[in-house]
Amino acid sequence: MELEIQDTDVQGWTVVTASGEIDVATAPELRDRLTDLIEAGTTRVIVDMEDVDFIDSTGLGVLVGGVRRARGSEGGDVRLVCTNPRILKVLQATGLHEVFIIGADVDEAVSAEPR
Amino acid sequence: MELEIQDTDVQGWTVVTASGEIDVATAPELRDRLTDLIEAGTTRVIVDMEDVDFIDSTGLGVLVGGVRRARGSEGGDVRLVCTNPRILKVLQATGLHEVFIIGADVDEAVSAEPR
Amino acid sequence: MAEIVLEIPPRLDYLAVVRLVVATAAALDPPLPESRLDDLRLAVTEACSNAIKAHRPEAADQPVVISCHLDEDRFRVDIRDRGPGFDPDALRSLPAPTDPSRLQHESGLGIPLIKVLTDDVTFQPAGDGTIVSMTLKRPPAPPI
Amino acid sequence: MAEIVLEIPPRLDYLAVVRLVVATAAALDPPLPESRLDDLRLAVTEACSNAIKAHRPEAADQPVVISCHLDEDRFRVDIRDRGPGFDPDALRSLPAPTDPSRLQHESGLGIPLIKVLTDDVTFQPAGDGTIVSMTLKRPPAPPI
Ligand SMILES: Nc1ncnc2c1ncn2[C@@H]1O[C@H](COP(=O)(O)OP(=O)(O)O)[C@@H](O)[C@H]1O
Ligand SMILES: Nc1ncnc2c1ncn2[C@@H]1O[C@H](COP(=O)(O)OP(=O)(O)O)[C@@H](O)[C@H]1O
């Protein structure tokens, strides 16, 4: 798994672009990065999953933890960019598509109604 | 392994483009195609190996057999197009770079001096 | 019936190897369709990561054994660990996705996922550990 | 020292799986360099295809066993078959490439290749078969 972090100029959202395989072996790195961002006050985070080809339950759990921490702050959230049917299928199979706000691109994720 | 056979307009040479892995499991198909061509009188054959990422001793043996059969006819040969260092290394390790005529492209292979 | 067996040390960085082997075995003739290979890769990852964790710390020097059974009409993979065992029926289910307390749970998705992704799964206590057996059916061969 | 073991049916269409597993194991920390992974893939293919052929026809239902031994300074892979055994020192060497009779030989390149590609190889008779042990040294770790 590779991670890249980029500020956007859209309403203070920060984009974390993940690529490769997010599994129990690599997910801790994603957890650390998300936690660091949120604790440092960057509570609006988009995780761009367009280049992720595999995610397991540990990876999903890291995203759930991120959402919980981010939503603890006014206006905070961790949202996903994802159109890959493989990954969408796993989000659906776990019901997590009802937990996360998922957009087809960063603009769509940013402009969605909060949950 | 995939094979594609194309006539060229260069001096009656026919190009067999191989791709993928040529190993003991897939080489028999290459052997059959080469033997069919040569027995049908197409004794000038270029095997384009630019998209081959693996070849084992059985694959090399098939090429040696092809060279023997083709050189049995006046002006016949099986020549290789190969610039991939992985494959060139194996040709060198076996001394077969001194048996085959190897070009960087079809033109170079066709215009080389016969051995 | 062919059988492929893989033994790995109980370390999470071997999971990528396991996925590769199992998916490659399942793609052999007659192959599982691509989308079922995805299901298999994920189900195997979940079962195998549970197995690896179950080896800590007592069985850290014992292998986790993955065996693939290739039948005409089904593909079965067994994951055998030397862990303490567990009762799969005693696991608490997660709150509904719409329940705000769902966000409190970062784990517990593995076995529910395995159940959704496979056509059949069994958890058998095996003396000194557990065998998780997962089956995916192959699609019927097209008529000739 | 970690160990990865793979058992396969003696069928040539499993060679691609073997290459994958062995190369993936050797790419684990500390990884062999890419060009040595190529050497390893080819050497393992040669040894394993000899092992598979040696199972015909008597041992067609017995597995070929590939085990990888991951040490700090070297990677070793053993291929164990249940074939009739052979004497590697009795093999005739091939004519020189410049000798026209070289073209008469379409086989016999496997073991010479293994010897060139590995840092060490041994062929041990093992009761009911042969163990071919191939070692590739890892490059020394860069100074910190
Ligand atoms: N092979 C196993 N051996 C022992 N315990 C296991 C095994 N598989 C699962 N478990 C237990 O079941 C629990 C639930 O597993 P799972 O649904 O995969 O979620 P998670 O691994 O995220 O906790 C694990 O936390 C563990 O306690
Ligand atoms: N594991 C083995 N068991 C029995 N015989 C073997 C084994 N490996 C090699 N041999 C014998 O050695 C010969 C030479 O092997 P090799 O150099 O790989 O060339 P090839 O396989 O093309 O004949 C084989 O033909 C076979 O008779």
**pLDDT tens string D13-58:** 899 889 999 999 999 878 999 999 999 999 999 999 999 999 998 8
Q: CB of D67 closer than 6 A to ligand 2? A: no
pLDDT of residue D1: 60
pLDDT of residue D98: 93
Task: For residue C21, list chain D residues with Cβ-Cβ distance below 8 A.
Answer: 6, 17, 20-21
A62 touches chain C (CB under 8 A): yes
**CB within 8 Å: D3 and C9:** yes
Give the chain C residue whose CA is nearest to the CA of D70.
C9
Task: For residue A102, list chain C residues with Cβ-Cβ distance below 8 A.
Answer: none
Q: Is the pLDDT of residue D143 over 80?
A: no
pLDDT > 90: what percent of chain A? 86
Task: For residue B67, list chain D residues with Cβ-Cβ distance below 8 A.
Answer: 103
Q: Which chains touch A (3 or more CB pairs under 8 A)?
A: C
| Overall average pLDDT of the B58-79 stretch | 97
Nearest to D42 by CA among D118, D119, D108: D118
pLDDT band at A1 (very low <50, low <70, confident <90, very high): confident
Q: CB of C91 closer than 6 A to ligand 1? A: yes
Q: Which ligand is nearest to the CA of C124?
A: 1
Q: State the DSSP string of chain C.
A: -EEEEEEE-S-GGGHHHHHHHHHHHHTSSSPPPHHHHHHHHHHHHHHHHHHHHHTTTTTTTS-EEEEEEE-SSEEEEEEEE-S----GGGPPPPPPTTSGGGGG-SS--HHHHHHHHSSEEEEEE-SSSEEEEEEEEPPPPPP-
Candidates D12, D44, D45, D50: which one to mutate for ligand 2, based on the most atoms within 8 Å of Cβ?
D50
Q: CB of C78 closer than 6 A to ligand 1? A: no
